[in-house]
Amino acid sequence: MIQGVLGDAAIRQCAVAMSVLMLEADFKLQSTTCLPSSPYDDARHKLALKKYGKALSSVRELLSHSDPQSVQAALLCGIICIWFEVLIKDHLSALSHLDRCLSIVQMSRFRGRGEIDVDIKEAYVKLDIQAAVHVGAWSPVLLVKKTKSIPYIFDTFEAAEQMFNAEYANLIYLSRRLTSTYRYHQPDGIPLELLANAQLLQEHLEQWNSTFNSSYSCQKAQGDPRMTSQVCLLLIHYHMAVITASTCLYAEEMIYDRFLPNFNYMIRLADKLVSWWHNQPAGSTLGVPVDMGVVQPLYMIATKCRTTSLRQKAIRMLLAMPNNEGVWEGPIVASVAQRAKDIEELGLDVERDGVPEFRRIHAIGFEVAQGTGRVHVEFRRRPNGMDGEWEWWKECLSY
């Protein structure tokens, strides 16, 4: 990225626009909330948008060329543009640019443009998975049809992460595109091929975890404290992947009760990770992380784990989350999860009897009304069993 900034005007303009926007965010973070907004805030924001407009013009010029250097420069610009749009809450534009960039990555080898740089491609694999995790209608595009065999040990953390991302992308694609129809609409007619695919992914995840534990033990013995946050985040998503792979074909919500140990481990790791975030210097975590965040795993705990103390802790952690997730902000999803918990537990002695199947919410969809402090939520459940009719309703919540 640094080489690109020094060597290409388009990347430099994108970086300048992003820097101005982040300086504005840093100023707001450090200023006291009781003071009225300064006209300099608007000036910074307008300057960032002006620089961004110039950057987009330069990117369009790059895309008119077909040489490998121009394509890779355009893809680097694409990463910065996506970050910029997420930070200004223009999520539809961010998805649109991501879709275009993923198409370029996919088609580059077929148009004589040469292979994309490995680091750039891996960054887009992560963005692709992030989009799939945070946007319910999105499924991963950069899939590895046949993943490599998992080695006995990972030489580097990056190798372990890359292997996990390949398996995770395939899992999300399976759960979004292939199994959801049978889980929600035809629970008694699941093809054997789908069952086999889900089982194979579970086995791959187990193999990956075994190898990673051995590899990380060696790395930890070498004493690298920088690995702590990365390892926590990766293991949180590993446990989320295990739960997803094991439940993606089950119509019953009570299947999640089997994974209480996984939920417990996820909350401990998330607690450790959030503590690390809060101990970082002010402004050091600004921006949009390319790595997968922790808000979605906490939201899964808060809505799918029915141990009331554990899900309430997840909600509290969401409320206290630093706002660097971009698309999913902790307080928003916390309000949705709290409402779901209240609906399911109303009138029950949860500590003694738990939450019965007929009270459990199967699916939640929500849309944030930006700038209003409100979110529109749709809840769905099956009060008469897995082959019964759906009951659904909409609510508008404040956060």
- How many CA atoms are closer than 13 Å to the CA of 86, on its beta-carbon side? 26
pLDDT at residue 239 in the model? 96
pLDDT band (50, 70, 90) for residue 24: low
The model's pLDDT over 123-142, given as tens digits with 9 standing for 90+, comes to 888 888 878 776 655 667 77
- For residues 232 and 269, the answer to whether their CB atoms sit within 8 Å is yes
pLDDT band (50, 70, 90) for residue 198: very high
- For residues 309 and 300, the answer to whether their CB atoms sit within 8 Å is no
- For residues 76 and 11, the answer to whether their CB atoms sit within 8 Å is yes
For residues 278 and 96, which has the higher predicted lDDT (pLDDT)?
A: 96
Residue carrying the six token digits 């996990």: 164
pLDDT band (50, 70, 90) for residue 207: very high
pLDDT band (50, 70, 90) for residue 36: very low
Please state the pTM of the whole predicted model.
0.81
Determine how β-strand 374-381 pairs with β-strand 363-369: antiparallel
For residues 95 and 127, what is the distance between their CA atoms, to the nearest angstrom?
A: 10
For residues 241 and 168, what is the distance between their CA atoms, to the nearest angstrom?
A: 7
Does 378 score more than 50 pLDDT? Answer: yes
pLDDT band (50, 70, 90) for residue 6: very low
Extract the runs of DSSP E, i.e. beta strands, from the chain: 363-369, 374-381, 391-398
For residues 269 and 3, which has the higher predicted lDDT (pLDDT)?
A: 269
For residues 160 and 150, what is the distance between their CA atoms, to the nearest angstrom?
A: 9
The model's pLDDT over 80-111, given as tens digits with 9 standing for 90+, comes to 888 888 877 787 888 888 888 888 887 765 55
Does 5 score more than 50 pLDDT? Answer: no
The model's pLDDT over 345-357, given as tens digits with 9 standing for 90+, comes to 999 999 888 999 9
pLDDT at residue 212 in the model? 93
Mean pLDDT of the region 301-318: 95
For residues 348 and 329, which has the higher predicted lDDT (pLDDT)?
A: 348
Does 32 score more than 60 pLDDT? Answer: no
pLDDT at residue 90 in the model? 80
Lowest mean pLDDT among 11-25, 327-341, 362-376: 11-25
Sign of the alpha-carbon dihedral angle for 314, 317, 319, 323 = negative
Mean pLDDT of the region 220-244: 79
pLDDT at residue 381 in the model? 93
Best CA proximity match to 321, nearest among 291, 364, 285, 354? 285
Does 386 score more than 50 pLDDT? Answer: yes
Pair of tokens at residue 344: 């399911």
Mean pLDDT of the region 292-300: 86
From the DSSP assignment, how many helices (H) and strands (E) are in the chain?
A: 15, 3
The DSSP code for 145 is: S
Lowest mean pLDDT among 206-215, 227-236, 286-295, 366-375: 286-295
pLDDT at residue 60 in the model? 80
Pair of tokens at residue 212: 């990673």
Average pLDDT, the chain: 81
pLDDT at residue 261 in the model? 96
pLDDT at residue 290 in the model? 47
For residues 32 and 50, what is the distance between their CA atoms, to the nearest angstrom?
A: 27
Could you tell me the strand order of the sheet in which 374-381 lies? 363-369, 374-381, 391-398
Does 291 score more than 70 pLDDT? Answer: no
pLDDT band (50, 70, 90) for residue 145: low
- How many CA atoms are closer than 13 Å to the CA of 370, on its beta-carbon side? 10
For residues 205 and 315, what is the distance between their CA atoms, to the nearest angstrom?
A: 27
Mean pLDDT of the region 358-379: 88
Does 379 score more than 50 pLDDT? Answer: yes
> pLDDT > 90: what percent of the chain?
29
Best CA proximity match to 174, nearest among 142, 136, 201, 205? 201
pLDDT at residue 338 in the model? 96
Collapsing DSSP to helix, strand or coil, 377 comes out as strand
